[in-house]
Amino acid sequence: MNSQMSVSQSGATEVLLHEGFFSKRNAWDWVFAALTLLGALYALSLYSSAMDVYEQGILIASVPAAIWLGWFWRPLRTLMMVVAFLSLLGVWSYQGTMQRAETVFWLKYFLSSQSAILWMSMLFFVSTAFYWVGVFLKERADGIEETASRLLWVAVTMALTGTMMRWYESYLLGPDIGHIPVSNLYEVFVLFCWMTATFYLYYEAQYKTRSLGAFVMLVVSAAVGFLLWYTLVRQAHEIQPLVPALKSWWMKLHVPANFIGYGTFALAAMVAFAYLIKQSATESRWYRLAPLWLLGIVLCFEPLVFRKASASGLSDYWAVYFGMSALVIGSIVFGRKRLAARLPSFEVLDDVMYKSIAVGFAFFTIATVLGALWAAEAWGGYWSWDPKETWALIVWLNYAAWLHMRLVKGLRGNVAAWWALGGLAVTTFAFIGVNMFLSGLHSYGTL
């Protein structure tokens, strides 16, 4: 009898271990899949005349990708459905004319692209503040951090809604103006912010720790700060027609893949920063706090880089930025022991850093290959050593070397963290520094 029970239990275990992927799906998974498919078919029937065959292929291929993502991580399913609802409400509210943006209440204050992106910006800032309050509180810290996480979800929702509405608004301005909103610095900064935040939320759920939000959201909030400044200086929120070289379906693939890389590299750098802070928590000697002084120099140097703001009457903006930077650095210096106690173990930090870089490297490689193919079509050659291409290669080699040392030589600890943190400087220059200081074929988002 016992042997039969043992065989039965063994068989049940084997069935569970070999349970099929589709058999794990519940009713809501299939409802989500059906709605995704119906939505794609509706979009194809409505807008196929404005798409070429490649764009139609991208739309069709996005269906199984969206379904898999929703099944892989179920919160994304909810996010996609809410964004779809808000976007459809916005499209319906416009009734085919941009004039309604100023007369319809929820368009004017919530759902138009600029309103939604401003909500995104405010919510990212507030979420960052809540994460920082949470790591320093001794009581009710979990509740504060949970609120920060929920605010972050709402911020991502508004960012995606704003992106979708901007896409639609560009077509309302004219069929020749309409394009996916990933064509200039303003649009890609929005893309960078929500992608970085979404990847962080995934790792937050996977590792069941919210304390990293205080660090990761620093880079997102810095990006939002730049976005707001750029909007004030250049009126960058205004939708502009595409330059001829960008009128290609390649842009819909190359740019998002590129910014998955940028976002995850930035995330890895901030996790590396947390790693170094945790390690230096017991140190009192000033030179042992090098990560803090490095961050301080970077944050305080940024207003000098954008010194043109003073000539534009926006010096007060950078004065506030400078003050906030000093507050952040001071808080970390004096509260580093509390921070270290709240942070997860070194093993978890190391694992998040590694996985972020691995994901980013994979997508950055895909983006580089796609960029070469796009260049061949647009300019007649796969590679021209343009400054943007050269720095993209430097970024790729940097993280290729990091992964090689990790997988072959077992790179861990301080060296890995410093390398990942230094990689953020390389990535930032490739992302924005090239546009600021160099010129070339990719100069579409100059300051």
* Token pair belonging to 396: 């790729």
> Quick check: is 363 in a domain?
yes
Residue 68 shares a structural domain with residue 87: no
> Quick check: is 215 in a domain?
yes
Residue 42 shares a structural domain with residue 88: no
Residues whose CB is less than 8 angstroms from the CB of residue 210 and which lie 6 or more positions away in sequence, other chains included: 131, 134, 142, 145, 146, 148, 149, 204
Residue 58 shares a structural domain with residue 89: no
Q: In angstroms, what CA-CA distances link 407 with 137, 359, 410?
A: 38, 14, 6
> Quick check: is 6 in a domain?
no
**Domain end point (choices 42, 72, 102):** 72
Residue 234 shares a structural domain with residue 381: yes
Res 229: pLDDT? 83
Res 52: pLDDT? 80
* Token pair belonging to 146: 């949970």
Q: Measured between alpha carbons, how far is 149 from 325 in angstroms, rounded to an integer?
A: 22
> Quick check: is 420 in a domain?
yes
**Domain end point (choices 43, 72, 101):** 72
Range of the structural domain that residue 68 is part of: 26-72
Q: Measured between alpha carbons, how far is 213 from 152 in angstroms, rounded to an integer?
A: 10
Residue 234 shares a structural domain with residue 361: yes
Residue 40 shares a structural domain with residue 94: no
> Quick check: is 312 in a domain?
yes
Residue 62 shares a structural domain with residue 171: no
> Quick check: is 447 in a domain?
no
Res 313: pLDDT? 45
Res 37: pLDDT? 95
Report the b/e string of 113-122 with b at 16+ CB within 10 A.
bbbbbbbbbe
Q: In angstroms, what CA-CA distances link 299 with 294, 303, 304, 347, 391?
A: 9, 8, 10, 28, 22
Residue 66 shares a structural domain with residue 95: no
- Number of structural domains the chain divides into: 2
Q: In angstroms, what CA-CA distances link 316 with 50, 303, 307, 324?
A: 45, 11, 12, 12
Which run of H or E residues covers position 18?
none
> Quick check: is 21 in a domain?
no
Residue 178 shares a structural domain with residue 60: no
* Token pair belonging to 19: 């349970």
Res 287: pLDDT? 54
Residue 35 shares a structural domain with residue 115: no
Res 440: pLDDT? 56
**Domain end point (choices 50, 72, 94):** 72
Q: What tens-digit pLDDT sequence spans the chain (447 residues)? A: 444 544 444 544 444 444 566 778 889 999 999 999 999 999 888 888 878 888 888 899 999 999 999 999 999 999 999 999 999 999 999 998 898 988 899 999 999 999 999 999 999 999 999 999 998 887 778 899 999 999 999 999 999 999 999 999 999 998 888 889 998 889 999 999 999 999 999 999 999 999 999 999 999 998 998 898 888 877 778 888 888 778 888 888 999 999 999 999 999 999 998 998 888 776 655 555 666 666 655 555 555 555 544 444 445 666 666 667 667 777 777 777 888 888 999 999 999 999 999 999 999 999 999 998 988 887 777 878 888 888 999 999 999 999 999 999 998 988 999 999 989 989 988 888 777 766 655 555 555
Residue 338 shares a structural domain with residue 415: yes
> Quick check: is 442 in a domain?
no
Res 58: pLDDT? 87
Res 32: pLDDT? 94
Residue 222 shares a structural domain with residue 235: yes
